[in-house]
Structure 1
Amino acid sequence: MYLNLGVKDLGSNSVKKSGGSNARAYIILMIGILALAFTAPWVKQSNFEPATSVILRCGIGLLALLPFAFREVKKIGALNKKGVILSVLAGLFLGIDFTAWNYSIYYVGSGIASILLNLQIIILPALAFLFDRERVPKTYFIVAPIMILGVIMSGGVFEGSAGPVDGPATVYGMNIAILGTICGMISGVCYGIYLYTSRKATKVNMGQIVQPMAWATAAQLVAPAIFMLFFSDRGFDLTHGVMVNGALPMNPETTLGDPITGMNWFWMLVLGILGQAVAWTFVQYGSVRLNSTIVAGLLLLSPISTVAIIAIVLFGEIPSVLQILGVVIVLGAVAYQNNLFAGLMKKTKGDKSLPG
């Protein structure tokens, strides 16, 4: 789900000091990536109303983070005022991201929703250019429209169907594939804003990892709460879910999903602890300690695993040929924008020059 975190690479000196710490960073990063790959399926398995799901996920995640945040304060000090402001701002946009993304998961499937989120790779450079005057490579203007085309193809918009998701053809009078893609694109835009803001936050703190996550997670509660109050007829619903027997009902606007069971609560706890607290903190930890090109490559494993393996096995979400082509375009654009291909080519050339 989460590529190009926008975290400044701390350089190789810090990771060369200790092979053990480098290995630990890889292990922690891979655990975080594995958790991220299951995040969308866990949202679907918990089956809570989308805004309710965000509040529960972030609330549980915040409770899990607080003891470690307090420990971090005692160990290296509290996050400074600017760091807190930037973390809260980042969390506000991430709350919008999560709410829109949850709807996308139900409308176009957990695998495709994980792909749509990667629209962030064209948002982050644009924000850096507009506000920080960072140079944007000329290839960006080629990659951006290709990326948007891939996102639209992935959502099934050109086919006029919801792709792998069983259920109604329309929701709120709109084609469900189009609505799901729009939700996914809103999610990707807000995620890009989050990445931009969180990147700036990493430059003003003293190496804290857990505290920025805790502040951002608390701020994520705002967007779904506002959505419940002003835009949702369901409100904070702890009694009924979204899907009926694993699929959207034919009129999800008015039909309640299956009653929430102990198993739904189990998956919500897993989502809150592993998908929120562990995933985000572990990926952040590994990202600031390892080479940025390697991290970008490893992070590609998350959406690939979700769409190509997990969503198919758990929910039978089999994308169409056109959607698969869109997925390939999106992932290729992500890899190119993260300089993954160039980094791998340099590494290959370097290996060939070694003796033996």
Structure 2
Amino acid sequence: MDTTTLPPSSTRSALPALSVVAGAVCLSGSATFVKLADVSAGTAAFLRCAIALVVLLPLAFAELRREGPLGGPLLGCAVAAGAFLGVDYVLWTASILDVGAAIATVLITVQVIVFPLLGKVFGGTPIAGRFLAAAPLMIAGIALASGALGHSAQVTNPVRGSIMGIAAGVAYSGFLYLNRVSGQRSPRHLVTPIAVATAAATATAGVIGTATGGISLSLDAASWGWMIALALLGQVAAWLFVSTGTARLLPNTAAALLMLQPVLAIGFGLVVLGETPTAAQLAGCVVVIVAVWFANHTPRARQPARPPEPAATGHR
């Protein structure tokens, strides 16, 4: 069981939170890169991991020479985390085909509940009351921001798509939790767990992608360029940032900060693709930002009044 207690300094520092936010920024561009690459979901899921290994493996080997081998249990933890991530990628893209991108985006945000619950059940990590109060507001804000409530989506199989979307969110939570465990138990190994997890995700996405529609490697130069950008930002940089931050944050805090990802994705779509969000989507973005701030804001304790100084008596 993960019984690691966060040091007081980490809870006061803003650096772990900023690291998770940076990871969310990198992840939020993923959908834009996939659209610009114009490739299938299976191809995108496989290549974002496979290309990332070109960068991660040399860094991991250097880290292993410097810090020593990763323990067997943590190696298995990283493999399991990667399997969860690969399943997440495949299930989420399948959910998009059944219920549309907007509703699938809402369904996967179940991680904001499941991730902290995993920390509570398996690690005994407490869940803050402010987070529990803000969680429904965060999910409602994502529903508005995604556009799921603003227009009718092309829903072809609502039951199957909903099950796959929720399952994707659960798998995503499993990856986040196991990745956090690796970061806490072996903070000296930052790259190695991500490299192992990415290798496992590559294998998982490759097997499932091949079985469900095939993977194409016949891409033009522009598509390869966008896939490389997706791998470097949406896989390498994103998970290194997220891993650095989540190891030093409570699960509910990390889950709330990652809710910024779909909100930031709307900004990428506006700037890069020229997609204009509706008033409801902009309102949803504001709701999510406010809810995340509320969930992670710790009110300052009121300082007790200082007792009055005793009057001088003339005695020494």
Alignment counterpart, residue 213 of structure 1, candidates 194, 197, 214: 194
Alignment counterpart, residue 316 of structure 1, candidates 274, 278, 292: 274
Q: Are the equivalent residues in 2 in contact too, given 1:35–1:279 (CA < 8 A)? A: yes
Q: 1:292 to 1:157 in 2, by over 3 A?
A: closer
Q: Is the counterpart of residue 346 in structure 1 residue 304 in structure 2?
A: no
3-state DSSP class of the match of 1:346? coil
Alignment counterpart, residue 12 of structure 1, candidates 9, 12, 16: 9
Alignment counterpart, residue 204 of structure 2, candidates 217, 223, 248: 223
- Structure 1 length normalisation: TM-score? 0.67
CA distance in 1, matches of 2:10, 2:140: 40
3-state DSSP class of the match of 1:221? helix
3-state DSSP class of the match of 1:237? coil
Q: Is the counterpart of residue 53 in structure 1 residue 44 in structure 2?
A: yes
CA distance in 2, matches of 1:197, 1:224: 18
1:278 corresponding residue in structure 2: 237
CA RMSD of aligned residues (A): 4.1
CA distance in 1, matches of 2:231, 2:86: 14
Q: Which moved more, 1:81-90 or 1:146-155?
A: 146-155
Q: Is the counterpart of residue 98 in structure 1 residue 81 in structure 2?
A: no
Alignment counterpart, residue 111 of structure 2, candidates 120, 125, 135: 120
Write out aligned runs for 1:30-41 (5 A).
32=23, 34-41=25-32
Q: Is the counterpart of residue 43 in structure 1 residue 34 in structure 2?
A: yes
- Stretches of structure 2 that go unaligned for 5 or more consecutive residues are 304-316
- Stretches of structure 1 that go unaligned for 5 or more consecutive residues are 1-6, 17-21, 163-168, 240-259, 351-356
Q: Are the equivalent residues in 2 in contact too, given 1:57–1:271 (CA < 8 A)? A: yes
Could you tell me how far 1:67 is from its partner in structure 2? 0.7
Q: 1:148 to 1:200 in 2, by over 3 A?
A: same
1:238 corresponding residue in structure 2: 217
Q: Which moved more, 1:45-54 or 1:184-193?
A: 184-193
Q: Are the equivalent residues in 1 in contact too, given 2:60–2:192 (CA < 8 A)? A: yes
> Partner amino acid for 1:209?
L
Could you tell me how far 1:64 is from its partner in structure 2? 0.8
> Partner amino acid for 2:233?
L
Could you tell me how far 1:305 is from its partner in structure 2? 3.0
Could you tell me how far 1:9 is from its partner in structure 2? 4.9
Alignment counterpart, residue 57 of structure 2, candidates 60, 66, 89: 66
Q: Are the equivalent residues in 1 in contact too, given 2:27–2:238 (CA < 8 A)? A: yes
Could you tell me how far 1:276 is from its partner in structure 2? 1.1
> Partner amino acid for 1:12?
S
How many residue pairs were aligned? 299
1:84 corresponding residue in structure 2: 75
1:174 corresponding residue in structure 2: 157
Q: 1:121 to 1:291 in 2, by over 3 A?
A: closer
Q: 1:117 to 1:330 in 2, by over 3 A?
A: farther
Q: Are the equivalent residues in 1 in contact too, given 2:52–2:236 (CA < 8 A)? A: yes
> Partner amino acid for 1:262?
A
Q: Are the equivalent residues in 1 in contact too, given 2:111–2:255 (CA < 8 A)? A: no
1:197 corresponding residue in structure 2: 178
Q: 1:299 to 1:41 in 2, by over 3 A?
A: same
CA distance in 2, matches of 1:226, 1:139: 41
Q: Which moved more, 1:291-300 or 1:73-82?
A: 291-300
Could you tell me how far 1:99 is from its partner in structure 2? 2.4
1:246 corresponding residue in structure 2: none
- Structure 2 length normalisation: TM-score? 0.74
> Partner amino acid for 2:215?
F
Q: Report % sequence identity.
A: 31
3-state DSSP class of the match of 1:12? helix
Write out aligned runs for 1:159-170 (5 A).
159=150, 161-162=152-153, 169-170=154-155
3-state DSSP class of the match of 2:110? helix
Could you tell me how far 1:36 is from its partner in structure 2? 2.9
CA distance in 1, matches of 2:59, 2:202: 20
